[in-house]
Every structure is written in structure tokens, then in C-alpha cells.
Amino acid sequence: MADLEDNVAIPEFSNLVQMDPYLKPFEKDFKRRYEQLQKQLSQLEETEGGYDKFTSSYKSFGVHRQPDNSLHFKEWAPAAEALFLTGDFNAWEKFTHPYTKKEFGKWELVLPPKPDNSPAVDHKSKLKVVVHTQDGERLYRISPWAKYVSREEKSVIYDWVHWDPPNPYSHIHPRPKKPKSLRIYEAHVGIASPEGKVATYTNFTTNVLPHIRDSGYNCIQMMAIMEHAYYASFGYQVTSYFAASSRYGTPEELKQMIDVAHSMGIVVLLDVVHSHASKNTEDGLNQFDGSDSCFFHSPPRGEHKLWDSRLFNYSSWEVLRFLLSNLRWWMDEYGFDGFRFDGVTSMLYHHHGIGAGFSGDYSEYFGLQVDEDSLVYLMLANHILIPCIPTASLLQRMCRGCLLSAEDWRREDLALITDWLWPFPTSGFRS
């Protein structure tokens, strides 16, 4: 029986082989990967009504105010025995507001409005998910979909803060056209000031954006925006994936910063960390439902021994929902124009680049050392985001080597740039 890959036709693959005949021995690998992508897209269509609906799951998970001012809460916690909501709204009573268990590990709760028809949970009030595990433990967690988290001055733990401002910021300026060539200014809001303190979104808008524009840059790569409890990690130990870091200001101030950048003709890329996550439990994704494998592979596969962090399970349907929706959230809600992916070598290879070198031999990019689940995830991200926002750009930063998938290669409208760090960077500017 012929291999299934023999029946897979990759668009324009012959052109790729013509450009580089040394890829011909790996044709079956390309076909297998492309077939996996097509299967995922077909499953999304059959089970979720298409990728647009699937990647818009941020509109239903977490907490959302409905037209009647009721609040709808939804979480994925497959290993939990029970879920409850507690917070300022109920004087931190632990068991008065239980979630209802649904299919596939989902949990839902609806809070009707107050007698005056205002939402049951006030803007900027604190919340916690109380998780009862199958072992009888009681855990206090932040929703993985939390839109805003903050930390009290004397606390080491971040709090889930309900963010529902009465007058949310509305973008004024359209997205700039995608530049023919990118001149990238890599920036970190917190250190973008000569003062000895953590700088703010407002400072960046007022003092840094004009400098970037006047220096001739047309693109900003923003580091350390996704919330991270450990500031010294430079944003690479993410704890809350849907929350803009509160240490620099409010979500509305970040939206204004991006809007002003757009008014200057500057596109804004988000430094996104989907390669791993912080090990924090009380204010991170780790062990959200009490298990060691909710969003991640179980150890040892689910742990990065050098970064001391957790590794996502890209074969999980709900993990794909979470990560792809995360990309859509930052583009739809904040107006980011694209992404620079960090730690892609760690994603693509089971060895994570630890103790492995890349000589340039193509065989190093194929075979059992490749985590094809993560590869297909990146292909999905490429495939899905461009139709949503045609001006989107995707950058992948790799500590060592990688070959583009055939799907990546053929998408001429996608600005896919590889920032080689081995042995030195060649794309973009660092200022």
C-alpha cells in the first residue's frame, strides 16, 4: 500500500525543490507535515465551525459581560473535581458560586446583575477561581484568560483584577500598510527611561515613540508586554497570557500607545512567548486544575530543565485553542500588527537545542528529533492569522537553525523573518 503522503500535493513545492535540490530527499517529510496541517484545518471546520470561530474563543472563555449585564464565566479544567468563584463581590465566600461542569473539561458560571442592573462584579475588583482537585485539595487560581492582573506592593503573588472600564479606549487610527522592508526597533517599556524606576506606557507614548519615528524606524518589536511575575526574566517567564503587564500602566494606556504608533506609520509587533511558561501556580498556568498536565506535557517532557519552566502540549485541542486565541486577542483587542515568536528552537525540537548543534546538514531539521506537533502549531498560526489581518507579520526567532515548512514558504504575503542568533543576529536593529 502506498504511503498516504504520496497522495498529498503541496502547492508550488516543485518550485521550492528547483530552488534547492538538496530538499528533494525530504519530500515525504514535507508532505507529512502539510497533510497534518490540512487535517487540523478540516477538524477545525467540522468541530468548531472554522478557524475564525476557534481563534475567537477569547470572546467566550474567562469572564464576559452580556447585553443584560449578567457575567458569563468559562474555564477549561479537565482534572478538577469542582470549581467555584470567589472575590470581592461575595466577600470572599468560597463555595457560594459554583461553576457547572460541561463537556470536555469545560466549566461555566453565570452571575445575574445586581438589583440596580449593574454587573455583579465591579470594575477593578479582585477574583479567584477555587479549584477542588480529585485528591481533595483546595487551590486558589487566576483564570488563564484573565485580562488584567496586578500585584500589591508588599505581595509576591499577582491578583486577578476584573477589567471592565466604563469608557474603554477606542482606536482612532487605522493600521499602517505593511512596509516593503522592516526597520525594527526592539523596545522594552519598563527600561525606556533614564530614570531609576520602571517606566510606563504613557512615557513610551510621549517620549520614546517620537524618537523612534525620527530615527527612521517603521516597526517596533515590543518585549515583556505579556504579564510576567518575575520582572528580571525580561518577559520570558509569562504568567498571564491575556494580560498586558500592569507594572507599566493600564490596558487602555497600552492601546493608546499602539494607536499613536499607528498614527506615525509605525507597525507594532508583540514579542510572544508560546515556547514555554512560568512554573508559577497561584498566579500562572502551571497546575491550574491541580494536575501537572493541564496545558503542558507531564514531566519530564513538560519541563525545560535549563529554563525551569513548563512546556506546552501542542497536540492538545484546548491548548491550540488557548494559544491561537491568544494571538487573535492581541491583534483584535490591542491592535498589534504581528508577532515575533521567542524560543522557536525549543519548540521545534525534542532536545530543545540543549547539547545539540546545527552544522547546516538538512537531516538535522527532520526526523524523530522534530516535535511536529509544535511545527504544525506554527503552521496553523501562519495560516490563520494572515486572512484575519492581511497586513500581519510573523517573525520567528531561533537560537539555532530551522527550515521553513512548505506552507510558510509559499505564503508570499507573509513577512516571515528568521532572526538567526547562531552565531550572531542579522535581522532587525537593537536600540
Residue 85 lies in a domain: yes
DSSP-assigned letter for residue 205: I
Q: pTM (2 decimals)?
A: 0.91
Q: Are residues 85 and 230 in the same domain?
A: no
Average per-residue pLDDT for the chain: 89
Task: Indicate whether 368 pLDDT > 90.
Answer: yes
121 lies in the same domain as 192: no
Can you spell out the DSSP letters for 409-428?
Answer: HH-TTSEEEEEE-SSS--SS
Q: Which among 89, 61, 95, 93 is positioned nearest to 77, based on CA atoms?
A: 61
Q: 281 and 400 share a domain? A: yes
CA dihedral defined by 418, 244, 94, 164, rounded to 10 degrees?
-130
Same domain, 157 and 229: no
Do the beta carbons of residue 429 and residue 217 sit within 8 Å? Answer: yes
E strand segments, 273-337:
303-304, 309-310
- Domain containing residue 302: 184-430
Asked whether residue 176 is domain-assigned, the answer is no
**Domain match, 79 and 222 both:** no
Mean pLDDT of 405-420: 35
Residue 27 lies in a domain: no
Query: In one letter, which amino acid is 219?
Result: C
**Confidence (pLDDT) at 150:** 98
CATH of the domain at 388: 3.20.20.80
Give the per-residue pLDDT at 405.
42
* pLDDT for 151 beyond 80: yes
Neighbours of 166 (CB within 10 A): 5
Residue scoring higher pLDDT (366 or 411): 366
* Res 2 pLDDT > 50: no
Same domain flag for 414 and 275? yes
Q: What single-letter amino acid sits at 155?
A: S
In a domain, 378, yes or no: yes
Q: Is residue 34 part of a domain?
A: no
Residues 194 and 260 in one domain: yes
112 within a domain of the structure (yes/no): yes
Last residue of a domain, one of 98, 129, 161: 161
Provide mean pLDDT across the span 282-296. Answer: 97
Of the residues 364, 407, 408, 419, only one is catalytic, namely 407
391, part of any domain: yes
Same domain? 284 vs 404 = yes
Which of 63, 89, 92, 87 lies closest to 75, judged by CA? 63
Confirm whether 295 is domain-assigned: yes
Q: What is the pLDDT of residue 396?
A: 52
pLDDT mean over 189-207: 96
Q: Are residues 365 and 220 in the same domain?
A: yes
pLDDT of residue 83 exceeding 80: yes
Residues 355 and 222 in one domain: yes
Task: Say what the pLDDT of residue 4 is.
Answer: 52
pLDDT computed for residue 113 by the predictor: 98
CATH number at residue 113: 2.60.40.10
Per the annotation, the verdict on 407 as an active-site residue is: yes
Mean local confidence (pLDDT), 376-386: 88
412/314: higher pLDDT: 314
Q: Please state, in angstroms and rounded to a whole number, the distance separating the CA atoms of residues 371 and 369.
A: 7
Mean pLDDT over 56-66 rounds to 97
| Inter-residue contact 184 to 429 (CB < 8 Å) | yes
**What local confidence, expressed as pLDDT, does residue 344 receive?**
92
Cα Rg of the chain, angstroms: 22
Q: Are residues 256 and 374 in the same domain?
A: yes
pLDDT class of 420 with cuts at 50, 70, 90: very low
Average pLDDT of 287-306?
Answer: 96
Q: What would the mean pLDDT of 263-272 be, rounded to a whole number?
A: 96
The count of structural domains within the chain is: 2
Helices vs strands, H then E, count in the chain: 10, 20
Q: Average pLDDT in the 314-340 region?
A: 96
Q: Do 372 and 414 have their domain in common?
A: yes
Q: Grid coordinates representing 380?
A: 496553523
Q: Which of 159, 283, 337, 342 is catalytic?
A: 342
pLDDT digits (tens, 9 = 90+) for 22-32: 999 999 999 99
User: Residue 98: is its pLDDT beyond 90?
Assistant: yes
Q: By percentage, how much of the chain surpasses pLDDT 70?
A: 88
- Whether the predicted pLDDT of 426 surpasses 60: no
